[in-house]
Amino acid sequence: MQKKIPVSIAIIVKNEERNIAEALESVRDFDDIVVVDSFSDDRTVELCRKYTDRVYQHEWVNFSKHKQIAVDYAKNEWVFILDADERATPALKAEIVSRIKDEKISGYFAPRKNYFLGRWIRHSGWWPDYSMRLFRKSVSHLEPREVHERVLVNGLTAHLKEPFEHYTYRTVSEYIAKMERYSTMSAKEIYDKKAAKAVLSIFINPPAAFFRMYFLQQGFRDGLHGFVLAALYSFYTFLKYLKVWERKHCA
């Protein structure tokens, strides 16, 4: 019998029956899989329990809080955070087994291979799109944020070579639905921190976001997919700051 990988997988979910089985299948050779569910009303929990009995349910607060809960449940010192629409590849797993032996390193940034509308996005700031995913539990924690949370590591960090795969936004409608939720959370965070002049940001930040993604980050090299992605992200930026303005002036 093949020896399990001595790393805990931490996943948070809510109504992910379409994605979760493939995600868990990709990490079934890890010896500890923790799932924190926010009371899904589809088959998510049922599917998760086919792969692990470590399924816990907590009322939703925000992304960083729930990922921290999942990390806190982890049995191993090394933890890898995976989202339901992400997959660990055999090459990545082999590299993880090798790299966790280095006692000097406390965390690894992993490259993320993002797919948008069925295509791997090689530019637009989406590749290699490093994210801190593999880390020592005892010296790390999730930054407390509403959205776009990060793992903060107290110690030396390094970069993995092999990517994990992210199957994001299979349709434009899916992007728009998520954009509505994320823009609301981001607006709350910006408003709470009083970090933006909303009126100026509405005019300046959306075109700046498009220019950065499409030209500076060479989204044009991703063809129509790159243009669509830059346009959608520009609109997301507009929506985010519009909601900040709404909170300030229309509440």
| 193 confidence band (pLDDT: 50, 70, 90) | confident
CA pair distance 93, 29, nearest whole angstrom:
9
**Which pair of tokens denotes residue 25?**
């299948």
What is the value of pTM for the model shown?
Answer: 0.94
Give the three-class secondary structure for 127. coil
Residue 101 burial (C-beta neighbours within 10 Å; 0-12, 13-18, 19+): exposed
Residues of the chain with CATH 3.90.550.10: 5-166
Q: H helices of 172-218, where?
A: 172-193, 198-211
- Quote the crossing angle between the two packed helices 223-249 and 172-193, to the nearest 10°: 40
Specify the pLDDT at position 152. 98
How sure is the predictor about 251, in pLDDT bands with cuts at 50, 70 and 90? low
Does domain 5-166 bear CATH number 3.30.470.20? Answer: no
Asked whether 117 and 124 are in contact (CB, 8 A), the reply is no
Structure tokens at 114: 């993002």
- With a cut of 90, say whether residue 147 has pLDDT above it: no
Q: How much is the CA Rg of the chain, to the nearest whole Å?
A: 19
Single-letter amino acid code for the residue at 93: K
Question: What is the band of 195 on the pLDDT scale with cuts at 50, 70, 90?
Answer: low
Share of the chain above pLDDT 70, in %: 98
Whether 235 shows a pLDDT value over 80: the answer reads yes
Q: How many CB atoms lie within 10 A of CB 4?
A: 11
Predicted confidence (pLDDT) at residue 196 exceeds the cutoff of 70 = no
The DSSP output letter for 165 is: E
pLDDT interval class at 1 (50, 70, 90): low
